[in-house]
A = this chain, B = another copy of it.
């Protein structure tokens, strides 16, 4: 049986390929696929976000090789950055509460 950490890693891989396989290169996310992934899978996370250009900006930042698509390694860097941001917030809260 797999552990929760292994399941979490597996989830990331599955979600990426679910969206990347929709159109064009099936191993890369186009801007449309990235937008769809964000809207469906980071719903709560991005619910406070009102910037209509957010996905364009993220795409530009992530797409280090400038091919207008996001490969898996670029996607993991984005998710890692989001997790670190969440954790910073979480640790600040804990420290505020005296832990």
- Please list the residues of chain A having a beta carbon within 8 angstroms of any beta carbon in chain B: 1-13, 15-17, 26-27, 40-45, 72-73, 76-77, 79-80, 82-84, 86-87, 90-91, 94, 99
Q: Decide if B42 touches A5 in the complex (CB within 8 Å).
A: yes
Integer count of this chain's copies in the complex: 2
Decide if the interface of chain A is mainly helix, strand, loop or mixed.
Answer: helix
Q: A82 CB to closest chain B CB, in angstroms?
A: 7
Residues of B within 8 A of A90 (CB): 13, 17
Residues of B within 8 A of A7 (CB): 8, 11
Q: Decide if B13 touches A11 in the complex (CB within 8 Å).
A: no
In the assembly, what is the distance between CA of A36 and CA of B95, in Å?
24
Residues of B within 8 A of A40 (CB): 3
